[in-house]
Amino acid sequence: MGHVLREGLQQVVNGLSMGSVYALIALGYTMVYGIVKLINFAHGDVMMIGAYVGWLATSRLHMSFVPALLLAMASCALLGVIIERIAYKPLRNATRVAALITAIGVSLFLEYGNMLVASAQVRSYPPVLPSVSYKVGGVYLQYGAIVIFATTIILMILLTLTVRYTKIGKAMRAASFDKDAALMMGVNVNSTISATFAIGSALAAAAGVLYGAYYNTIDPLMGIIPGLKAFIAAVLGGIGIIPGAVVGGLVLGLTESAVSALGASTWRDAVAFLILILVLILKPSGLFGKNVREKV
């Protein structure tokens, strides 16, 4: 019985590590959707670019983990603003299908553009995180797993404080509630949307660096599956709701870890998409969302 309990706790630790990555990416999805009602399917590839910037900083510029993380976040914040200005801003009043197709196009551009620049070769991260483990009650806690979870919590708290108490955060909330009314009240909606893309992209970059440092390998297509699963996490928690994105990511990570513990690791992806289908059927608004009827 004790062995089973320890194994269960070990899977919880593993699930929280992967769930934290999903949560960071899902935050970007949910922030952008909350303001411009856009599902930015290129978001997972922004995470990939962040992972590559972190790899370049650590392997070529010989930076330590924290400076590399900050450089990746700053680079992808700028990338997010550029993507929004060039690809999404001209389509602000277009149909959602047009914006969705554009997002897929941006995703492919980032993936294959990176292959052209950095090649399709799989890269290995240098050991920026110590490969040590701490045994607590029979459960092994890897240093990397602790860093991932702690970084996610810190970034979530900083994001929450930013949204609640800063001028740009208040502008984001106003724009998400009613863009036209916010505009009449003097809010610069264009700058607010750009700031939202910058913050969301910076969080995705943090997820990319953490993923690369913990799992050691990165490649130009690495953002596809985590990006899709982060979207599932955002929908699960209630897309447009910041705490929901974090909870959804952690729940999804724990669920996948439980599936692996039961010996069905090949079904992890299938279970994730099954969760998406069930949420859309049973509670489309997600765990934290409220059902709102949309007038035609």
61 burial type by CB count under 10 A (0-12 exposed, 13-18 middle, 19+ buried): exposed
In terms of Cα–Cα distance, which of 26, 8, 5 is closest to 203? 26
Per-residue pLDDT, 264: 77
CA–CA distance, 230 with 248 (Å, rounded to integer): 8
Residue 141's φ and ψ, nearest 5 degrees, are: -105, 110
Per-residue pLDDT, 1: 54
Per-residue pLDDT, 6: 67
Per-residue pLDDT, 267: 86
Pick out the chain residues at pLDDT < 50: 292-296
Per-residue pLDDT, 4: 64
Per-residue pLDDT, 149: 87
Per-residue pLDDT, 291: 56
| Alpha-carbon distances, residue 16 vs 65, 144, 146, 148, 166 (angstroms) | 20, 12, 9, 9, 30
CA–CA distance, 283 with 193 (Å, rounded to integer): 28
pTM of the full structure: 0.90
Per-residue pLDDT, 296: 37
Per-residue pLDDT, 290: 63
Per-residue pLDDT, 116: 93
